Structures are given as C-alpha cells and as structure tokens.
Structure 1
Amino acid sequence: MPSYASRERAALVEALRGAGPDAPTLCEGWTTRDLAAHLVARERRADSGPGLVLGPFSGWTERVRRGYAAKDYAELVRLVETGPPLLSAFSLPGADSAANLTEHFVHCEDVRRARPGWAPRDLDAGLQGALWKVVTVRARMFFRKSRVGVVLATPDGRRHVAVSTEPSVTLTGEPGELVLYAFGRTTHARVTVDGDPDAVRTFEGTPLGI
C-alpha cells in the first residue's frame, strides 16, 4: 500500500495539473509553476536546500528554483510526480514519509485553497492520525514564538499541550486543519481559536511556521 506521503504526492500532482501553470497559490507571490519548481529543486538539488532556512543562502536557492521554473510546466509536474532521483537524500528508506507528508499535504492545499469555491478534502482516519502525530510531535517548534499557552484539540476529543503557560488558547480543528494552521495558513484553515479575549488577540499576532 502506498505511504500517506506518496498518496499526498499524487493528490498534489493532480492539483497542479488541474490548476495549470499560472494559477495562484497560498504561497505569497508564487504561482503553481513557482511552487512546482520549488518542489523539484528541493528533491533534486541538495545544494539549494540551506537557503530554505538560512537567509544568506536564499539567493542561490531562488536562482536554482527559477532555473527549474523555466522548464515546460508539464515536464516540471512530471518531475514532481516521479519523485527524487536515486542519489537524493529523499530516496533513503523512510525519508519520503518523514520529510514529505506535510510538504505534499500543505502544498496540495496551497493549490486547492487558493481557488474560489474550495472545500476541505474528506481525509481518512489513517491520514488524519498521521497528521495529528506530526503536529503534536512538532508542536513546540511550530508555536515556539507564542507568548501565551497553546492547546491543540480535535472535535473527537484529542488534546495536546503545545505551549504550557497561562493564559492559554485552544485551537480546535481536524488534524489536517491544525497542520495547515501551524504552517501559517491561518486564514484558510478550518480552526477555531478559543480563550480569554486578550490571550486570543496576543496569540493571533504570533508568527507561525517553520
């Protein structure tokens, strides 16, 4: 059975093909072509990786990405679909599931939710469980800049303390929606934020994402 990361790759490819090369995404300033180029560069050009998180290297990362963006869009999406080459670190056993589940899920929604009339996908319980594991394991990192406590909750009663301090806010949504919120897609995630009004206002000014 394909991994959840592989299934989300397929969903992302379908979204990219359906949208075409010039559609907007939730990644500010990026079209679907730009996003596809980012995905390909990330898996095929390890030298461009540091610039994704380290400012001094970002210029080179952007140069590599633009080189891929100049390719034919159909070819670019095919490279996303076929995945990393054998010599890529993403081809190591377990690397795809560890590194690509949220990458593919979030970027699939970046394409889908930038279009009018979008609705959340109906994700199966297994995928929701995998996304819950991701958002709880990495919760401290996602919400590290919060000046108030943060509790994650799902409609079926699961709870996880991401930041243990008072006052606190509670974020409630399905695991996939909480992942999107944690990655900074706050205005397009179906998540409610509850708590003391002052705590909510403080929290809503918190920068989120990696």
Structure 2
Amino acid sequence: MDDVMRANIDAWEQTLRSSLALAATLDAADWDRPTECPGWTVKDQFSHLVGVERGLLGDPEPEVEVPAFDHVRSDFGAYLEAAVHVRRDVPGPEVAAELADVLERRLVQLEGIDPDGPLLLPNGKEGVYRRMMVFRAMDCWTHEQDVRRAVGRPGNLDAPAAHCLWSILGSGLPMVVARRAKAGPGESVLFTIAGPPSFRSAITVGADGRAVPADPEPAEFTTELAMDLETYVRLAAGRCTPNAVTVETRGDRDLAGRILATMPLTT
C-alpha cells in the first residue's frame, strides 16, 4: 500500500472513530434529533454510514421498499435511503455498534485492495480506489459534522478529512464562479476559509469564459468572500441557505450573492 492510500485510509478511519466516540455520548433524545441533511435524523446519519461501508464490503443489499419521501429525488437517493429506512426501528446504540463492526471489517478489506484498482467514483467518473478513499473520508466527515451541529457537540473540524473535503469541493469553485454565477471574462474571485484548517482559492475568468486558478493573483479582486470552515462546509454541502450563515464580502456584492446562492456541490 502506498503512502497516499494509507493517508486517505487514516483520514477516513479517524473521522469514523471520532463519530463513534461521539455516539457513545448520545442519549435517546439525541438519536432522534433532526439534522441539516434533509429528512435524516442523527441516527439516520449513522445508518447511512453503515450502509455505504457495507455496500463496499459487498454485503447483501437491504430488502426494504423505500417510501416516496420528499427528500428522495433520484434512484441513487432511493438506493442510499434503503440502508437508512431499514434501520429506522433499530435503536441508535445498535446502529453505532454495527458501524464499529463494519469499520473493523473494512480495515481488513482495505489492506488487500490495490490502490490503483479501477472503479466508479461517487461523482460518476472512472477513478481508482486511492481516490475513492478521499470521497469516503469527505462523506464520513461531512456527516459527522451534521451530527455534531444537531446535538450541539462541536469538534473534529481540524481533521485530516477536512483536507479531503477541500480537495474535492474546493476544486469545484471555478465551475461555481463561471458556469453557475456567470462571472464574466476578466472578473476574479477570492475565497478565504478560516480554520484550522484554513484554505484559500483565487480564481480568474479568462477571455473564453472559463474560470481557472489565478496565477499570478490580481492586485485586486472583483469579489472577495471570507467565511469560517463550518460555514463553507454547510454551504458547499447544501446544508443551509446563505441567509443562515455569516459571510464577509467585498467588491461586487451582486456577484458574491450569485456565488453564494449556487455554492452546493454535494448533498
């Protein structure tokens, strides 16, 4: 196993163990609290994590008919919901115990997996297993943060998986700026994300209308957006609308508003 694959696995494992430590502190009311992930409670978040990891282990799919929930809007959404719905009558601590078991099984499995083994990534593109573990770390960490906000127990923001999230969602900011927010040629945007960990993305729009990382950076930007890491995660993961968070903006406020309104890159 190469160092990159090991680091990705470590990031994924760290956030799952952090989630399990959090689960041990939850009471009966906590498990039923709604989260910002549409339609899901705290327990549903843990059920989702169990379902994905069991699927990657090759376990049989749950035999359950998923009702027509408002938050289920696609066949893929229904597939993910099956693992959640089949556990809706299962007590939260039992779901956490199942996650602890599946974590150990996955760690054994991963020792024998080829990092360059091809597979379809969650974004619908062909990739390799090394990259899949970046997606798994990001997904697990995003859901851990959903749970922490719901139960009022913040923590683990400065986790290795936060860098995994940025490597995936941060790379989508040029598309948000140009394609979604319709920034024009010659316009530029600076994102500063305060942590730890902290991130920065400077983007310019070329004459062809495509946005790319600014190199060199302009002396002044058309628009600047500054926010803390949790705010960025909530916006980029589609957990809230811009009016629910605080973002400092400078420059073209209309462009800033269009960017914030089209930030979600995952759900």
For the Cα contact (< 8 Å) 1:128–1:176, is it kept in 2?
no
TM-score of the pair, normalised by structure 2: 0.58
Change (3 A) 1:66 1:12: same
Higher-Rg member (1/2): 2
Structure 2 CA distance, aligned partners of 1:152 and 1:65?
35
Q: Structure 2: which amino acid aligns with 1:198?
A: D
Structure 1 CA distance, aligned partners of 2:44 and 2:161?
27
Structure 1 CA distance, aligned partners of 2:12 and 2:46?
16
| Structure 2: runs of 5+ lacking an equivalent | 1-6, 116-129, 212-220
CA deviation map 1:105-162 (0-9, x unaligned)? 211111111245x5565626x6665554344334446766333465322459853245
1:10 is aligned to 2:49: no
1:71 is aligned to 2:82: no
Structure 2 CA distance, aligned partners of 1:193 and 1:120?
27
Change (3 A) 1:155 1:74: closer
Query: C-alpha displacement at 1:67, in angstroms?
Result: 0.8
SS in 1 for 2:86: helix
| Structure 1: runs of 5+ lacking an equivalent | none
- Stretch deviating more after TM superposition (67-76 or 106-115): 67-76
- Stretch deviating more after TM superposition (19-28 or 88-97): 88-97
For the Cα contact (< 8 Å) 1:89–1:95, is it kept in 2?
no
1:137 is aligned to 2:164: no
CA deviation map 1:38-84 (0-9, x unaligned)? 11112213668xx9998135334423421133323212112223335
**Map of 2:4 onto structure 1:** none
For the Cα contact (< 8 Å) 1:169–1:203, is it kept in 2?
no
- Stretch deviating more after TM superposition (20-29 or 129-138): 129-138
**Map of 1:34 onto structure 2:** 44
**Map of 1:56 onto structure 2:** 75
Structure 2 CA distance, aligned partners of 1:63 and 1:158?
35
Query: C-alpha displacement at 1:16, in angstroms?
Result: 3.2
Structure 2 CA distance, aligned partners of 1:57 and 1:136?
24
- Stretch deviating more after TM superposition (135-144 or 74-83): 135-144
**Map of 2:215 onto structure 1:** none
**Map of 1:159 onto structure 2:** 200
Q: Structure 1: which amino acid aligns with 2:224?
A: T
Q: RMSD of the alignment, in Å?
A: 4.2
Identify the structure with the greater helix proportion.
Answer: 1
